[in-house]
């Protein structure tokens, strides 16, 4: 059972999310909060598996709360908003969110988002991913960190490159002719060596520091 905390200042929105999630046998809403500070307190008290976090809330914004939650716990946060704005998107990622979803997404997408981040993966729509990579790879002063690059084995770098292209563990396994469990082990080691919490943060970190490049990386196995 995946335990979910709902954070939104609108009662009807929380009620709608609760109805959608609790139709699923493997999901349980364990609490609700109407602003950022209440969300931080609820995470400490309830220890949910996933937090669904609104951005704009009068009593305290969701990005500040996300930063606090991810800094002090391992609980993944999916940021939900009605606004498809880059400042919210990048603010959410820099705060440590594991996913970003618009509120006009389908009920099925909401359910899948919870399941994806609960199992340690990250959620970002392909069109949003392109914006993320363009933003982080274009930052001035961006340079590779040799210590981190050297820490990855050749196979781990291959896996990271394919993760950065949006491939799942199963797709990576097929591409590299490996078992899916082996790929999962490689991904876990990459996250540990980069000091990040999930695949999304690994991708952002890799592009931001120059470990991988948006297009045409000569070592990218997906190009062959």
- The residue extents of the domains of the chain are 2-123, 135-223
CATH architecture classification, 135-223: 3-Layer(aba) Sandwich (3.40)
Among 96-100, 199-203, 206-210, the range scoring the smallest mean pLDDT is 206-210
Is the distance from CB of 9 to CB of 35 less than 8 angstroms? yes
Question: Domain 2-123, what fold?
Answer: Rossmann fold (3.40.50)
- For the question of whether the overall pTM of this predicted structure is more than 0.85, the answer is no
The candidate with the shortest Cα–Cα distance to 189, out of 162, 155, 166, is: 155
Percent residues over pLDDT 90 in the chain: 45
Helix or strand holding residue 81 (H, E): strand 77-81
Is the distance from CB of 122 to CB of 168 less than 8 angstroms? no
Residues 106-128, mean pLDDT to the nearest whole number: 80
Digit-coded pLDDT (tens) for 49-87: 999 999 999 989 999 999 999 999 989 999 988 777 777
């Amino acid at each position: 059972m995946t335990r979910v905390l709902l954070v939104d200042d609108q009662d009807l929105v929380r009620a709608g999310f609760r109805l959608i999630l609790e139709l699923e046998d493997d999901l349980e809403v364990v609490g609700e909060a109407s602003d950022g500070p209440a969300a931080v307190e609820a995470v400490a008290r309830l220890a949910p598996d996933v937090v669904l976090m609104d951005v704009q809330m009068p009593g305290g914004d969701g990005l500040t709360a996300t930063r606090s939650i991810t800094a002090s716990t391992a609980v993944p946060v999916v940021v939900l908003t009605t606004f498809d704005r880059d400042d919210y998107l990048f603010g959410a990622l820099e705060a440590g969110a594991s996913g970003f979803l618009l509120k006009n997404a389908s009920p099925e997408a909401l359910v899948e988002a919870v399941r994806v981040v609960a199992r340690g993966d990250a959620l970002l729509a392909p069109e949003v991913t392109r914006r993320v990579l363009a933003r982080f790879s274009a930052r001035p002063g961006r340079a590779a960190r040799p210590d981190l690059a050297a820490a990855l084995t050749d196979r781990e770098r291959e896996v990271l490159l394919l993760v950065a292209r949006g491939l799942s563990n199963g797709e990576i396994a097929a591409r590299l002719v490996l078992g899916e469990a082996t790929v999962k082990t490689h991904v876990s080691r990459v996250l540990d060596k980069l000091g990040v919490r999930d695949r999304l943060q690994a991708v952002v970190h890799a592009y931001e520091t120059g470990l991988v490049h948006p297009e045409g990386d000569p070592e990218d196995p997906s190009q062959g």
